[in-house]
A and B are shown apart, each in its own frame.
Chain A
């Protein structure tokens, strides 16, 4: 610690070079922060889902298959099931928007028994149940869009070739932002029948069910799949957490690509930082020789140089973490349906890992210049000037 001031002064000696090195580390690690933040969000999401004892029944073929609507009642009647609802994605676009938000056709009478942690005013729930074209919206999402009760919400079909004319009759409060809109599954079904989309009619995208006890989940999943195994539409039932994880797994390869690209960037960055450090030390050959002359050991010189390179990289890492974290927070604020957790909810060991990567870059980039400085012959180093 006696030499920290000297290390700090060395790190800030050439401000332009140090700033550029710090920024290059910062931007690369900001990218990594966003990637690992996304993975952390998936984990938090998955862990959160585990606490609600929900299961999801899909067609065995996944999203390409359908779950007959009759399955909802059959699941509902099974011992250990508290409630079950159909859950069908519509994917319509609102007014002139290009991208759809989350819209699901479901059962207005049961859905708040399945998502019983969500809160809705009784009169609004009753209004929804009584209105065939009514819908309820996540309160944060409604507020973000400036929608009020009575708001007309036209949705233009993209996947389905018909439109929905919805009216917002209520809002629900969820623990985390969902960005979702719920409407009557029956209304979707009418549309399908009117367009003679008979292959899609009579089906749900999935069935969500609430289970009474956590320890019954595994057995129930198996029982449901066994029940429909011999039907035309066999099922694959899993926990909501596993279902959330499935989305992560679906982009698993992309994650691997991003990870590998990230590693390549880190490697290149380490070389760049090493070059900057080597240049810096080359300019200080005589200074290192003087240090060794007055008694600095090899180890101490090595630590001085490594301390400097690690300090520069750690500063870059912290800035990168702040930039990446800020970016994730902006995504959370602007698109909570895709990123429902704030950076504070996701804080954890992965952030230390990012800082660790930064220090690692500092260590590796400083190693060669540090070893060369430590092994410098005092006589050769001083020969330049004496």
Chain B
């Protein structure tokens, strides 16, 4: 299912009274408290807040990597609070694309093979996989780097390969955790341009965690978390195309 398939007007992420707690020894640590958020198809949302505010935890919950302690969490029609781990893995492979701060490419695989990796979970044949990989590398502008290993690429190029890996299966939702956090200003701007293009040209719904106001400025909507509580949720009036850092 791609973003363009989402039914107009219906949120692809519905969060109601969401709580998340972690347990360390005898202590219970509340991380998210009473979060309510709707996210519609085609939105580009930035999650901001100080360290420990619960941004990454919320991102992980939306991406189906973790389960809420209580509350309702429906993403792309799936109730993530009541889904088995195996079903969640399958669901993630079909609907979610991940972009990490440190790219997290597999070092022993080439750029091409890294992008192909999530496609090995599908029923696509070799030729179809090759077409998907070629298209993804084309989108990120690295068609000529397919046979390069991650160590042979710059940080910005690695992150672009990671983005190609995230979009190779044409997922509905892209989740990015500090995607520019490890990049220089120029590379970061290129990555943000790419994310913005994916949102606007390819109608990808994006949730991005960031500390960086310049990165957040590219999003259409800003959520601000503090100490596990959503303190601000508003359209980003200042969202600027091609804004630098």
Q: A residues within 8 Å of B by Cβ? A: 2-3, 5-6, 9-10, 13, 286-287, 290-298, 300, 378-379, 382, 385-386
Leading 9 A-B pairs by shortest Cβ distance: A295-B93, A9-B108, A2-B120, A290-B104, A385-B102, A297-B89, A378-B65, A295-B92, A294-B118
A13: chain B residues within 8 A (beta carbon): 107-108
Q: Find chain A residues with CB under 8 A from B101 CB.
A: 385-386
Nearest B residue (CB) for A8: B108
Given A287-B106, A385-B101, A293-B65 contact (CB < 8 Å): yes
* Bound Cα distance A300, B86 (Å): 11
Taking Cβ atoms with an 8 Å cutoff, the residues of B that contact A are 56, 60, 63, 65-66, 85-86, 89-90, 92-94, 98, 100-102, 104, 106-109, 113, 117-118, 120-121, 165, 177-178
Count: A-B pairs, CB below 8 Å:
70
B69 CB, nearest partner CB in chain A, Å = 14
**Cα-based distance from A188 to B199 in the complex (angstroms):** 102
**In the complex, how many angstroms separate the beta carbon of B171 from the nearest chain A beta carbon?**
10
Cβ 8 A contact of A6, one of B90, B93, B109: B109
A295 to B96 alpha-carbon distance, docked (Å): 9
Q: Which residues of A contact B113 (CB under 8 A)?
A: 5-6
Q: Which residues of A contact B106 (CB under 8 A)?
A: 6, 287, 290
A7 CA to B100 CA in the complex, in Å?
23
* C-alpha spacing A50/B100, complex, angstroms: 71
A295 touching B100 by the CB < 8 A rule? no
A27 to chain B, nearest CB (A): 27
With A13-B108, A378-B65: A292-B89 Cβ-Cβ less than 8 Å: yes
Sample of 14 more A-B contacts, CB < 8 Å, known A385-B100, A386-B101: A5-B113, A13-B107, A286-B104, A290-B100, A293-B92, A294-B98, A294-B165, A295-B118, A295-B121, A298-B85, A300-B121, A379-B65, A379-B66, A386-B102
Indicate which residue in B94, B107, B108, B177 contacts A386 across the interface (CB closer than 8 Å): B177
B92 touching A294, Cβ below 8 Å: yes
22 intermolecular pairs with C-beta atoms under 8 Å apart: A3-B120, A5-B109, A6-B106, A13-B108, A286-B104, A290-B100, A291-B117, A293-B65, A294-B98, A295-B89, A295-B90, A295-B93, A295-B118, A296-B121, A298-B89, A378-B66, A379-B60, A382-B100, A385-B100, A385-B102, A386-B101, A386-B102
Chain A residue nearest to B61 (CB atoms) is A379
Chain B residues in 8 Å Cβ range of A291: 117
Query: In the complex, how many angstroms separate the beta carbon of A60 from the nearest chain B beta carbon?
Result: 69
Task: Pick from A293, A298, A378, A386: contact of B86, CB below 8 A.
Answer: A298
CB distance from A371 to the nearest CB of B (A): 14
Q: How far is the CB of A63 from chain B (nearest CB, A)?
A: 62
A6, A287, A290, A386: the one within 8 Å of B178 (CB): A386
CB <8 Å contact, B117 and A294:
yes
Min Cβ gap A224→B in Å is: 71
Residues of B within 8 A of A293 (CB): 63, 65, 92, 98
Task: Report B48 CB to chain A, min CB distance, Å.
Answer: 16
Q: Which of B86, B93, B104 has the most CB of A within 10 A?
A: B104
Q: Which residue from chain A places its CB closest to the CB of B93 in the assembled complex? A: A295
Closest chain A residue to B22, Cβ basis: A379
Q: Which residues of B contact A290 (CB under 8 A)?
A: 98, 100, 104, 106
Please name all residues of chain B whose beta carbon is closer than 8 Å to the beta carbon of A300 when the two chains form the complex: 121
Q: How far, in whole Å, are A3 and B108 apart by their CA atoms in the complex?
A: 13
**Once the chains bind, are A287 and B104 in contact (CB under 8 Å)?**
yes
B93 touches A386 (CB 8 A): no
Whether A10 contacts B85 by the Cβ 8 Å rule is no
Report how far A294 CA is from B98 CA in the complex, Å: 7
State the Cβ distance, A351 to closest chain B Cβ, in Å: 32
Give the CA-CA distance A296 to B93 in the complex, in Å.
8
**A294-B93, A295-B121, A297-B86 as given contacts; A385 in contact with B104, CB under 8 Å:** yes
> When chains A and B are docked, how far (Å) is the Cα of A50 from the Cα of B189?
84
